[in-house]
């Protein structure tokens, strides 16, 4: 990458100041580089490590000091718990989106059934009237009616009208049959959609339970740490993010120069960065709180582009672009299971809703394992 670009990117900036940087990015002119954050100083290991890596203590007991190695084990476990919660959140969001679609389809089918039933009733009335008219004309064969008619020409004219009436009746009966078949199909479709709806409701409930379990376990683990241990844990998280960002910047996969954002991309970036400081909440789509894909989907919706609700569907359905070709507004998909998404805002930075207990923030685009990049308005 160019020396000018590299000198800008490697300027020191701590990830802990990400929210402040978001405001700076909004206020600054385009082209300001997002640098790798400065590494946090390594805390001095404790002289009295605990023997329990999960920090499970008796009620009322004061936890002993925790070593850096044990805090790193806690950080790893927290990452695993929050990652599992993110996967379950994506499953919940997908089930929620599907239940909404299926509910709308069932409502539409119900309306078609009501309209079809009314049409069927009207056709039956017409068919009954035609049958009564035929009955009134008598059951004699046409030859007999011709001989008995006082005016043969009048009979022939009437016979023509009868034939027309018979054709009309045949068409009426055919339409009645088609309407009946349509009603039966609508009923079958509604039943199928209802079965799917119930299935997705169960999937949503199961996903919700798993999300809450994982987040509860993570919070319990964090609650067992003392204030200074939480501060040291935060520094370990910053250092891990710094090391990942530095490795990415040195990988050669960083864009040599940011592509020009589209007009819709600029609007999406403006929306997403304006949400910095708002809390993460799983399943949330704003305006007060967001989860990761809630933020990106709403940002692009504000720009006039509807995109899938979940990070996994965003990865599946949107156009893939090379990481080196990404431009502001593109979405960066993280982890092998596409369980996290952020929006690239340029100069090696992204904005995202990280996880429970965190707020929407700006961070290094390479601070987590990148699966790929997608472009909503390709």
pLDDT of residue 19: 34
Sequence ranges of the domains in the chain:
3-49+257-375, 92-213
346 — pLDDT class (breaks 50, 70, 90): very high
pLDDT tens, position by position, 91-100: 888 888 888 8
User: Which pLDDT belongs to residue 279?
Assistant: 97
Q: Does the structure show a pLDDT above 50 at 67?
A: yes
Question: Percent of the chain beyond pLDDT 70?
Answer: 71
Q: What is the rounded distance in angstroms from the CA atom of residue 291 to the CA atom of residue 143? A: 83
Rounded Cα gap, residues 50 and 70, in angstroms: 8
333 sits in which H/E element? strand 331-334
**Cα(176)–Cα(188) distance, rounded to whole angstroms?**
19
pTM recorded for the entire structure: 0.60
Length of the chain: 378
- Does residue 292 carry a catalytic annotation? yes
Strands 319-321 and 370-375: antiparallel
Q: Which residue has the tokens 């207990």?
A: 357
CA–CA dist 95, 102 (Å, integer) = 10
Q: What is the rounded distance in angstroms from the CA atom of residue 371 to the CA atom of residue 307?
A: 19
DSSP 8-state secondary structure symbol assigned to residue 374: E
pLDDT at 222 over 90: no
Instruction: Tell which wins on pLDDT, 13 or 292.
Output: 292
How confident is the prediction for the chain on average, in pLDDT?
76
Overall average pLDDT of the 10-20 stretch? 34
For residue 45, the model assigns a pLDDT of 39
The CATH architecture to which 3-49+257-375 belongs is: Alpha-Beta Complex (3.90)
Element (H, E) at 53: none
pLDDT tens-digit map of 277-329? 999 999 999 999 999 999 999 999 999 999 999 999 999 999 999 999 999 99
Q: What is the pLDDT of residues 209-221, one digit of tens each?
A: 888 888 888 889 8
Lookup: tokens for 133: 């008219």
Q: Starting from the edge strand earliest in sequence, which strands make up the sheet with 331-334, in order?
A: 319-321, 370-375, 331-334, 340-346, 349-352, 361-364
Bigger pLDDT: 152 vs 181: 181
Active site residue 352: yes
Q: Which of 118, 123, 138 is nearest to 169 (CA)?
A: 123
What are the pLDDT digits (tens) for 17-63?
333 333 333 333 333 344 444 344 444 333 333 434 444 555 555 55
Tally of CA atoms within 13 A in the half-sphere of 22 that contains its CB: 25
Q: Is residue 331 within 8 Å of 297, Cβ to Cβ? A: no
**Residues near 4 by beta carbon (within 8 Å), at least 6 away in sequence:** none
How deeply is 149 buried, as exposed, middle or buried, from its count of CB atoms within 10 A (0-12, 13-18, 19+)? Answer: middle
Q: Is the pLDDT of residue 273 over 50?
A: yes
Compute the distance between CA of residue 70 and CA of residue 43 in angstroms, rounded to an integer.
13
- Joined together, the tokens standing for residue 374 give 């997608």
Inform me whether the pLDDT recorded for 116 exceeds 60: yes
> Does the pLDDT of residue 138 top 60, yes or no?
no
Give the per-residue pLDDT at 211.
Answer: 87
Q: What is the 3-state secondary structure (H, E, C) of 251-269?
A: CCCCCCCCCCCCHHHHHHH
Domain made up of 92-213: CATH architecture: Orthogonal Bundle (1.10)
Q: Which two tokens stand for residue 14?
A: 């701590």
- For tokens 């068409």, the residue is 171
Cα–Cα distance, 323 to 334 (Å, whole number):
12
**Phi, psi of 27, deg, nearest 5:** -80, -25
Residue 117's pLDDT band, with cuts at 50, 70 and 90, is: confident
Q: Write the pLDDT tens digit of every residue in 77-89.
A: 888 888 888 888 8
Select, from the ranges 26-40, 129-143, 342-356, the one with the highest average predicted confidence (pLDDT). 342-356
345 or 177, which is more confident?
345
Mean pLDDT (whole number) for 239-247: 92
266 pLDDT exceeds 90? yes
CB-based burial, 49-71: b 16+ in 10 Å, e otherwise? bbeebebeeeeeeeeeebbbebb
Read off the pLDDT of residues 157-205 as tens digits, 9 standing for 90 and up. 555 555 555 555 667 677 777 877 878 887 888 888 888 888 888 888 8
């Amino acid at each position: 990458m160019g020396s000018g670009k590299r000198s800008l990117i490697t300027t020191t900036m701590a990830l802990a100041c990400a929210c402040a940087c978001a405001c700076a990015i909004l206020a600054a002119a385009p082209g300001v580089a997002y640098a790798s954050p400065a590494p946090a100083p390594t805390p001095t290991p404790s002289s009295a490590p605990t023997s329990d890596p999960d920090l499970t203590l008796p009620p009322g007991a004061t936890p002993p000091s925790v070593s850096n190695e044990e805090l790193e084990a806690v950080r790893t476990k927290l990452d695993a718990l929050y990652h599992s919660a993110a996967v379950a959140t994506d499953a919940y969001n997908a089930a929620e989106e599907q239940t909404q679609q299926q509910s709308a389809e069932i409502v539409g089918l119900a309306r078609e059934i009501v309209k079809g039933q009314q049409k069927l009733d009207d056709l039956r009335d017409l068919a009954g009237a035609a049958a009564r008219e035929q009955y009134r004309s008598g059951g004699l064969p046409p030859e007999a009616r011709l001989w008995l008619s006082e005016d043969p020409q009048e009979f022939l004219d009437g016979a023509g009208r009868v034939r027309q009436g018979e054709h009309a009746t045949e068409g009426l009966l055919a339409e009645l049959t088609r309407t009946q078949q349509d009603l039966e199909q609508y009923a079958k479709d509604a039943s199928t959609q209802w079965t799917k709806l119930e299935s997705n409701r169960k999937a949503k409930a199961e996903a919700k339970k798993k999300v809450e379990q994982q987040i509860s376990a993570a919070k319990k683990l964090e609650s067992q740490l003392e204030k200074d241990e939480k501060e040291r844990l935060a520094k370990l998280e910053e250092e891990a993010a710094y090391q990942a960002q530095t490795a990415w910047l040195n990988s050669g996969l960083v864009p040599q120069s940011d592509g020009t954002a589209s007009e819709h991309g600029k609007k999406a970036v403006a929306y997403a960065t304006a949400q910095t400081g708002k809390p993460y909440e799983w399943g949330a789509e704003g305006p007060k709180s967001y989860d990761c894909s809630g933020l990106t989907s709403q940002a692009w919706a504000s720009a006039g582009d509807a995109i899938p609700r979940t990070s996994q569907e965003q990865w599946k359905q949107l156009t893939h672009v090379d990481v080196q070709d990404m431009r502001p507004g593109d979405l960066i998909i993280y982890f092998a299971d596409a369980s996290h998404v952020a929006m690239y805002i340029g100069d090696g930075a992204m904005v995202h809703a990280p996880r429970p207990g965190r707020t929407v923030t700006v961070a290094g685009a390479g601070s987590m394992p990148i699966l790929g990049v997608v472009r909503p308005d390709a």
